[in-house]
Amino acid sequence: MRVSSILQAFILCCSSSVLKVATTATSKCVEWLGGVGFTKAYPVEKFYRDAKIGAIYEGTSNIQLNTIAKLIDAEYKNFT
């Protein structure tokens, strides 16, 4: 059980970090391209949409952080 909950918390941390990086990177690309960044002339528009929907699909970062906190709290509750 210990490995399972720690592994689950680690996976959630990785998922949250990857989503932040993807959203930030694609947002910067759209800014760099200006108004053309939102057109279908460049694939950045699709990457930005995918990054945003990934964050919605996986759950907001606050929900993920609450889940991580619950897993860590349950794991180390006996150490108080």
Q: Say which residue the tokens 């990054």 belong to.
A: 51
Q: How far is residue 1 from each of residues 4, 7, 35, measured CA to CA in Å?
A: 5, 10, 51
Task: Indicate if 58 belongs to the active site.
Answer: yes
For the chain, what is the mean pLDDT?
Answer: 82
The domain segmentation of the chain, as residue ranges, is 2-68
User: Is the pTM value of this prediction over 0.95?
Assistant: no
User: Which of 31, 45, 58, 75 is the catalytic position?
Assistant: 58
Render pLDDT for 24-58 as a digit per residue (tens, 0 to 9).
999 999 999 998 988 888 999 999 999 888 777 77
What pLDDT sits at residue 2?
Answer: 58
What pLDDT sits at residue 11?
Answer: 80
What pLDDT sits at residue 27?
Answer: 93
What is the distance in angstroms between the CA of the first residue and the CA of the last residue of the chain?
Answer: 19
Average pLDDT over residues 4-15: 79
Helix, strand, coil distribution of the chain in percent, nearest 5? 90, 0, 10
